[in-house]
Each structure stands twice: as structure tokens, then as C-alpha cells.
């Protein structure tokens, strides 16, 4: 629970505040961008919410925060915010909120499909979220992009009886019971309209999930830079091999998609042709051109 005594100094004065336990995961910045923004090594309240919609988004950010670093001086009823996740993002894609500290605040997404829903990476296992996912049809498949963003995957799998998918190079003590292990580096159609793309680099067995040549769930392989409005990758968070990540990015750039849905930071969208050009430019930057 956030403590006003530990409030960061650069919060805008008023009801909402962020305290020094913030791990700078940036979730609040894109859940409620009119209220929260980046600062030096943490986030801050840049403007107090004006009006009910902005207040609701700020309360959603409070619920989504992985470490409880967002607080309010006034008492708030959080019931509406707790049941606002999964939050519709675009078409069948929903943002699950309830980010987990164990995943360093990584985002997870629910893809709602008539053929069976897909959970991409794992949020916190929380009662209101679980009940809302039940109402949306449960979970058929759980796609785990890599070992770091698995959080409460075992509890979701036990509750929903879903099949988990992970690359063999990512399997460890916490994921040894995963049901479906992908091997090698070939892309694999895991269901109609769903392709697992193996992208070694950030970790040895990182994978992206492509849905209908439109939505690309990227884990920590590929991000979106909201300032420059372009795809982005960060060498300082490459844990395995930057050269391999660059090669994987070049292969990924041959795919058509419109949406980047990353584990960390803002989702981003471009028309597919523009995205192709922007991905080629990213590969050039990664190669130092
Ligand atoms: S969601 Fe929480 S941990 Fe993440 S940046 Fe905001 S205040 Fe910090």
C-alpha cells in the first residue's frame, strides 16, 4: 500500500500520489496518460485527474500497479476499477492489468476468440480478474513469451485448465510442468491465425505471437517508443545476445503486422506498410547504421 510519507517529490500536488516504491515499469503512464508520466528513474503524477473518466483511469492504474506504489489522500471506492480489467484495447485484444512484481510489472493480454481465448504472459492471480476472464469465456491457451514474464502462470493454468506454451530454452524450475514445449527456431502455427515466432536475443528462447497478421505480442523482444512513435529495442535489457536479437528482428521485419503489444511500455500501432518500413529502419539502427 502506498505511503504518502514516501511520496516522490515531483508529484503534482493533490489527491493521487506515487511513492518511492515505484519500480518504473511505466504501466501507469499508458493506462492513465493524462495523469501519470515518467520522471528520473520512477513515475510521477504529472497532473491530477480532471473529471470522472480521468479519475477512473487513474484508479485503474492504481489497481494495475505491480507494487502498490500509487495511493490517494482521499478514500476511493475501487470496485469499478477492479472489474475494469481485462480492458478492451483493440478488437479482440484486452489488457489484463493486475501487473505482477514477479514479472517486473510486465503486461499480459487476453485475446478473445470464438475458437478459444489466449492469455499472453501472466498477470497477478486476483479474484476480480479471474471472474471477469471467466465471463469472457475463460482461457484455452496461455502463450508465455519467455521465462521472465510468467508470474502466476501455474495458478491460471490450474484454475482454467489451459495449455501453456513456452520455448524449451526458457524452461526452468518454475515452468517444468508447461504442457506444450516449442523447440528449434522455426515459426509454428499453434492454432488457426496464431503463429509462434521464435526470436532468440533478449533470452535464448524468446518468442512473439502473431495474430491474424495484425497483432504482434512481443514480450521483451520489441517495444514501442511513444515519443518517437516507432518500434524500439533496448540493448541494456538484452540478457542473452544482441547480435542474435538483431538477426531475429530482421526476420520479424519480413512479417506484416500493425500492432506492437509489448511486455513493457506502451502498445503502439502503425499501418502495416508503414510498420514494415519502421521495422527495417529499426534493424538498421540495431546494426549501428
Ligand atoms: S505502475 Fe506503479 S511501479 Fe509501475 S511506473 Fe506506475 S507507479 Fe511505478
Chain-centroid distance, C-alpha 105: 8
Gap between the Cα atoms of 37 and 40, Å rounded = 10
Contacts 24+ apart (CB under 8 A), 53-58: 56/80, 56/81, 56/84, 57/31, 57/32, 58/16, 58/32
- Contacts of residue 8, Cβ cutoff 8 Å, sequence gap at least 6: 17, 18, 19, 20, 22, 39, 42, 44
With 90 as the cut, is the pLDDT of residue 73 above it?
A: yes
CA dihedral over 11, 16, 22, 28, signed as positive or negative: negative
Q: What is the pLDDT of residue 287?
A: 96
List every span in the chain annotated with CATH 3.30.70.20.
Answer: 4-81
pLDDT over threshold 90, residue 149? no
Query: What number is the average pLDDT over the span 71-98?
Result: 97
Picking from 32, 146, 48, 37, the residue whose alpha carbon sits closest to that of residue 95 is 32
For strand 207-211 and strand 194-198, is the pairing parallel, antiparallel, or unpaired? antiparallel
Check residue 66 and give its pLDDT.
97
* Chain region(s) in the chain for CATH 3.60.15.10: 85-286
- The Cα–Cα gap between 208 and 216 comes to 7
For ligand 1, pick from 12, 44, 70 the residue to mutate: most ligand atoms within 8 Å of CB.
Answer: 70
Strands 215-219 and 207-211: antiparallel
pLDDT for the residue 266: 94
Note the pLDDT tens digit of each residue in 18-56: 999 999 999 999 999 999 999 999 999 999 999 999 999
The end-to-end CA distance of the chain, in Å, is 46
- Residue of the CA atom closest to atom 1 of ligand 1: 65
Residue 186 pLDDT > 90, yes or no?
A: yes
Dihedral of the alpha carbons of 154, 224, 234, 181, in degrees to the nearest 10: 30
- List residues near ligand 1 (CB under 6 A): 18, 22-28, 43, 65-67, 69-70, 105
> Ligand 1 centre from 5 Cα, in Å?
17
Compare 127 and 289 and report the one with higher pLDDT.
127
pLDDT of residue 289: 78
Q: How far apart are CA 22 and CA 58, in angstroms?
A: 15
pLDDT in tens, 199-232: 999 999 999 999 999 999 999 999 999 999 999 9
Q: Whose CA is nearest to atom 6 of ligand 1?
A: 28
User: What average pLDDT does the segment 260-276 reach?
Assistant: 97
Give the nearest ligand 1 atom to 67 CA. Answer: 3
* Ligand 1 centroid – CA 23 distance (Å): 6
Residue that is written with C-alpha cell 508470474 in the block: 151
Q: What does the DSSP 8-state code read for residue 19?
A: B
Atom 4 of ligand 1 has which residue's CA nearest to it? 25
Q: Which CATH code for domain 85-286?
A: 3.60.15.10
Task: Tell me the CA–centroid distance for residue 65 and ligand 1, in Å.
Answer: 5
Q: Which residue puts its alpha carbon closest to atom 8 of ligand 1?
A: 22
Atom of ligand 1 nearest to the CA of 25: 4
**Check: CATH 3.30.70.20 for 4-81?**
yes
Residues sharing a CB contact under 8 Å with residue 42, sequence separation 6 or more, in sequence order: 8, 18, 20, 22, 24
Residue nearest to atom 2 of ligand 1 (CA): 65
CA distance linking residue 227 with residue 179, whole number of Å: 39
Confidence of residue 246 (pLDDT cuts 50, 70, 90): very high
Lowest-pLDDT choice from 34-38, 44-48, 171-175, 241-245: 171-175
Q: Once rounded to an integer, what is the mean pLDDT over residues 179-185?
A: 96
- Per the listing, cell 505480442 goes with 217
Report the percentage of the chain scoring pLDDT > 90.
97
* Nine-digit cell string for 195: 503463429
User: Omega before 86 cis (within 30°)?
Assistant: yes
Amino acid at each position: 500500500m502506498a505511503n504518502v510519507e514516501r511520496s516522490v517529490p515531483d508529484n503534482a500536488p493533490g489527491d493521487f500520489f506515487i511513492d518511492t516504491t515505484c519500480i518504473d515499469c511505466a504501466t501507469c503512464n499508458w493506462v492513465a496518460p493524462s495523469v501519470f508520466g515518467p520522471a528520473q528513474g520512477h513515475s510521477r503524477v504529472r497532473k491530477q485527474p480532471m473529471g470522472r473518466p480521468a479519475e477512473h483511469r487513474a484508479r485503474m492504474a492504481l489497481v494495475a500497479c505491480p507494487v502498490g506504489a500509487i495511493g490517494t489522500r482521499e478514500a476511493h471506492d475501487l470496485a469499478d476499477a477492479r472489474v475494469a480489467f481485462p480492458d478492451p484495447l483493440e478488437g479482440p485484444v484486452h489488457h489484463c492489468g493486475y501487473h505482477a512484481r514477479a514479472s517486473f510489472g510486465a503486461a499480459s493480454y487476453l485475446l478473445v476468440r470464438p475458437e478459444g481465448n489466449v492469455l499472453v504472459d501472466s498477470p497477478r492471480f486476483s479474484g476480480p480478474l479471474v471472474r471477469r476472464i471467466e465471463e469472457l469465456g475463460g482461457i484455452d491457451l496461455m502463450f508465455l513469451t519467455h521465462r521472465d514474464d510468467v508470474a502466476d502462470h501455474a495458478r491460471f493454468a490450474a484454475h482454467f485448465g489451459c495449455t501453456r506454451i513456452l520455448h524449451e530454452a526458457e524452461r526452468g524450475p518454475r515452468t517444468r510442468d508447461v504442457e506444450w514445449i516449442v523447440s528449434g527456431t522455426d515459426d509454428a502455427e499453434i492454432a488457426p491465425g496464431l503463429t509462434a515466432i521464435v526470436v532468440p536475443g533478449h533470452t535464448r528462447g524468446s518468442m512473439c505471437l502473431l495474430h491474424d497478421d495484425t497483432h504482434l505480442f512481443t514480450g521483451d523482444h520489441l517495444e514501442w517508443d511513444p515519443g518517437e512513435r516507432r518500434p524500439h529495442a533496448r540493448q541494456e535489457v538484452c540478457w542473452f545476445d544482441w547480435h542474435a536479437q538483431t538477426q531475429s528482428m530482421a526476420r520479424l521485419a519480413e512479417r506484416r503486422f500493425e500492432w506492437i503489444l509489448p511486455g513493457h511500455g506502451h502498445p503502439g500501432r502503425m499501418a502495416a506498410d508503414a510498420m514494415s518500413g519502421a521495422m527495417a529502419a529499426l534493424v538498421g539502427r540495431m546494426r549501428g547504421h
